[in-house]
Amino acid sequence: ISKIGVLTSGGDAPGMNAAIRAVVRACSYYQLECIGVYRGYQGLIEGDFEKLDARSVRNVINRGGTFLKSTRSLEFKTKEGRKKAHDQLKEAGVDALVVIGGDGTFTGGVFFSDEFNFPIVGIPATIDNDIHGTDYTLGYDTALNTVVEAIDKIRDTASSHNRLFLVEVMGRDAGDIALNSGIGAGAEEILIPEETAGVERMLESLKKSKASGKTSSIIVVAEGERSGKNIFQLAEFIHEQDENYDIRVSVLGHIQRGGSPSCFDRVLASKLGVGAVEALMDGKTKVMIGLHHQDVVHVPLETAIKGEPKVDKELRRVADITSV
Ligand code: F6P
């Protein structure tokens, strides 16, 4: 391996810049060339490349987003698209890739690596934390802090007006953001995609909260929650059960994806970036570099993508106890 390409793909996440920086600096340390690929797999197809050296990544560790930009490329899902991408890499003399992103990014990477026998290593980056084999994905910790800060503010106004707030957080298939931010911000109830009894639980909790003398409440709802109702319909539904509730809805949206990465995410990005370059140098391919019990681990990309959804039962128990 003498020339490594690096790209970010899919939904962005705070810490992506810090990961690119670590990859570039590790290449520099080991005297490998590093090529930045702009706009993810689409840029790979179009040959949108730039040589990066240690100084190219100054002042990026603290910045949210990704300076290499990100896309969800439809063309890369086609055989022709991937062939074009391979031609571009050959022409530029790139002999291995580090792809930073979530399950869609890894799926594309597996296809590409299988078709062209091309070495690829993945770094998990998504605020959803829905990748298997790593305890944390890049951006998740920062997003949690953003959500908790926002809910703290909502709590102030909820309490002043004796209101019930429904707060929607991101998480298409995974309730990690909802469950952790819900506990951290002291929510009365938390609805997550992995559980179906959400709405009944919620009504029960609201009754209990009222009976115990609570005058305001916060319910955290993951966007992928599976009651079949969107958050505004949920608010209406609660109002139909008890019209005394003064309900407001707040959808936090994409503020969760932005902002300066937390120190945790910066350190994680640095460890995984260095780990990715070292894995490629060791001849590894089709693995994700993850963190498990503080150790950097190598997980087959297929496993990272395909694992079963996991609900942390202990967290759910703690949430139930602390919201009485
Ligand atoms: O995968 C991360 C995520 O933030 C999801 O939680 C959310 O559903 C999705 O991306 C939104 O993506 P976009 O607005 O970029 O299409």
Q: What is the pLDDT averaged over residues 259-279?
A: 98
Q: Which residue reads 């391919």 in tokens?
A: 285
Nearest-CA residue for atom 3 of ligand 1: 11
Residue 35 and residue 117: Cα distance in Å, rounded? 19
317 is in an annotated binding site: no
What mean pLDDT, rounded, does the chain reach? 96
The Cα–Cα gap between 230 and 236 comes to 10
Sign of CA dihedral 102, 107, 110, 113: negative
Q: Helix (H, G, I), strand (E, B), or coil: what is residue 103?
A: helix
Cα 185 from Cα 158, distance rounded (Å): 13
In testing the pocket of ligand 1, which one of 71, 255, 257 has its CB within 8 Å of the most ligand atoms? Answer: 257
| Run of H or E including 70 | none
Per-residue model confidence (pLDDT) at position 52: 98
pLDDT digits (tens, 9 = 90+) for 17-66: 999 999 999 999 999 999 999 999 999 999 999 999 999 999 999 999 99
Confirm if 14 and 147 have CB atoms less than 8 A apart.
Answer: no
Q: pLDDT per residue over 152-193, tens digit each?
A: 999 999 999 999 999 999 999 999 999 999 999 999 999 999
Q: Is 11 in the pocket of ligand 1 (CB under 6 A)?
A: yes
Does the CB atom of residue 257 touch ligand 1 within 6 A?
yes
Q: Tell me, what's the ipTM?
A: 0.95
pTM score of the predicted model: 0.96
Question: Is the beta carbon of 9 within 6 A of some atom in ligand 1?
Answer: no
pLDDT at site 312: 87
With 90 as the cut, is the pLDDT of residue 270 above it? Answer: yes
pLDDT value at residue 292? 97
Phi, psi torsion values for 167, nearest 5 degrees: -115, 120
Q: Specify the ligand 1 atom closest to the Cα of 171.
A: 6
Residue 261 has pLDDT above 80, yes or no: yes
